[in-house]
Amino acid sequence: MEADLIIKNTKIVFSSTIVKAGLAVKNGKIIAITTDENLPKADKIIDAKENLTLPGIIDVHVHFREPGFTRKEDFFTGSMAAVFGGVTTVVDMPNTNPPTLNIESFRLKIEKAKGKTYVNLGFFGGVCGENLDKIQELAKAGVLGYKIFMDKVLGKPLDDNSLIEAFKLIARTGLRVAVHAEDPKLVEQATLNLKKTGRKDFRVWVESRPSLAEAKAIEKLAFFSHKTGCKVHICHVSSKMGVEVLRKIKSQLSKIFLTSETCPHYLLLSFEEAEKVGLVSKIVPPIRFKEDKENLWYGLLDGTIDIIASDHSPHLPEDKAKDVWDAATGFVGVETSLPLMLTQVNLGRLTINHYVKISAENPAKAFGLYPKKGFIQVGSDADLTIVNLKKESTIKSENLHSKTRLTPFEGWKVKGLPTYTIVNGKIMMENGEITGKPEGNLILL
């Protein structure tokens, strides 16, 4: 049988091992994993030059800003940045304009995305105090999961009773809900007190969103998850206290529905480094201190934290050029996440196998994509990322591919880069050049 594509002279990386073997792809699926000599003939041959083949990277936390905020990013530019970063699948957040709170806004987002994405693209539906009656219809329409902000980002905040009700409704769908876990009352009170002082230094932003707010929220969410059977994903864990609460919960509860993520900026930047960068590095939750960073690594390596995600959230320069209270929160990350983490592999901070687990396998399992995605086996989707661990570069905003390119990692040297990004068997990026068309699939469960 002839294949559409073969990859030879490579080593395939799994979460538990590395195997020297070749791959054959036909009609977007992996059809053979065998020695190079036994690979079928193919229209297209990739000689990986002994580089590693990973399951395609899955980023379950991006803000591609469409519809409504397309001066910052859109599906075309965001997905292009993703494939340059070795990412093959993303899940887009619902805080757009209109927010994705009902079937009409969900269908609008789908229409906007058609024919514009280089990567596979799934969507979260938003949940707030005003749309609990829309949870079931969003599931039927095909969302990959839900997103809850504990404050008023999407609309009326959920009080405890409404949150429990939302969890019960989401549990019936079988989907997972991603939550921005910060106790809004603690944040509101800390912010009010600090604003009264007149302070506008960078540190005041960190103090306004204390670690206790994250830890308290995680504790509540875990309890509600346990009681309702709702699968919950904690977004962007940022603190030592948050990690410690998660570890305690996972050790004490026999039946746990909780997953969590952290991001490269929390693992690699401390407050002092972020302060030097200035308001470009302002994000929620804030980048905290060395002790937090070290404990996030412990949590990532011991399995307390399951997933690495980017929280790609681009803003215009003028959005950042304000005082510490008014400057926008967030920055690009979908293109830089893989090189930053491969650099850590090269430094010995984690193994390439563990990176595959947290960047592909675990995200796929958490959001219903496994084993079609997140794993390399016959029958799986041919979403593949070939990486050269020896290749070096320097992160420069001018070389990124998002519409707006502000990054706190400006000037960082990285070692380990994607050389091919293959989406559904089609080569989208080859050696730093776009080679495919925006033909990524829209993932509707």
Question: Which 3-state string (H, E, C) describes 12-78?
Answer: EECCCCEEECEEEEECCEEEEEECHHHCCCEEEEEECCCCEEEECEEEEEECCCCCCCCCCCCHHHH
> Would the pLDDT of 122 be above 90?
yes
Contact status, residue 71 vs residue 62, Cβ threshold 8 Å: no
For 263-295, give the DSSP string. Answer: -HHHHH--HHHHHHH-GGG--SSPP--HHHHHH
Quick one: which of 293, 49, 329 has its CA closest to 205? 329
What is the C-alpha to C-alpha distance for residues 63 and 16, in angstroms, rounded to an integer? 31
CA neighbor of 115 nearest in space, from 381, 445, 436, 422: 436
Could you give the 3-state DSSP secondary structure of residue 179? strand
Determine how β-strand 42-47 pairs with β-strand 29-34.
unpaired
pLDDT exceeds 70 at position 91: yes
Portion of the chain with pLDDT greater than 90, in percent = 98
As a whole number, mean pLDDT of residues 334-348 equals 98
Q: Which strands form 52-55's sheet, in the order they lie side by side?
A: 18-20, 11-13, 52-55, 384-394, 413-423, 426-430, 433-434
Model-wide pTM > 0.85? yes
> Would you state the structure tokens that stand for residue 231, as one six-digit string?
């699968």
Tokens at 405, concatenated: 């390119």
Q: Based on the structure, what is the number of domains in the chain?
A: 1
User: 160-194, pLDDT tens digit by residue?
Assistant: 999 999 999 999 999 999 999 999 999 999 999 99
Residues spanned by the domain of 200: 56-366
Catalytic residue among 74, 183, 311, 319: 311
- Nearest-10 crossing angle of helices 240-252, 290-301: 30
Rounded to an integer, the average pLDDT of 283-294 is: 98
- Summarised one tens digit per residue, pLDDT across range 237-284 is 999 999 999 999 999 876 679 999 999 999 999 999 999 999 999 999
Q: Is residue 413 part of a domain?
A: no
Give me the long-range contacts of 193-197 (CB less than 8 A, separation at least 24): 195/325
**Alpha-carbon distance 344 to 415, whole Å?**
9
- Tokens describing residue 187: 């944040």
What pLDDT is attached to residue 252?
Answer: 87
> Is there a domain that residue 117 lies in?
yes
Whether 31 maps to a domain, the answer reads: no
- 311 tagged catalytic: yes
- The mean pLDDT value of the chain amounts to 97
Residue 378 contacts residue 39 (beta carbons within 8 Å): no
State residue 323's pLDDT score.
97
- Mean of pLDDT values over 38-54: 97
3-class DSSP assignment, residue 335: coil
| Torsional class of 352: left (φ above 0), alpha (ψ -120 to 50), beta (otherwise) | alpha
H helix or E strand, kind and range, residue 308: strand 307-308
Residue 340 domain-assigned?
Answer: yes
User: According to the model, what pLDDT value does residue 254 have?
Assistant: 64
User: Does any domain span residue 156?
Assistant: yes
What is the four-CA torsion angle of 310, 285, 181, 308, rounded to 10 degrees? 20
CB 362 within 8 A of CB 55: no
Residue 1 has a pLDDT of 77
Closest CA to 303 of 348, 347, 247: 247
The answer to whether residue 293 sits within a structural domain is: yes
Query: What CATH number did the domain enclosing 96 receive?
Result: 3.20.20.140
Average pLDDT over residues 215-219: 98
In a domain, 427, yes or no: no
> Is position 144 within any domain?
yes
Please give the full DSSP string across 91-131, using - where no structure is assigned: EE-S-SSS-S-SHHHHHHHHHHHTT--SSEEEEEEE--TT-
pLDDT, mean of residues 378-398: 98
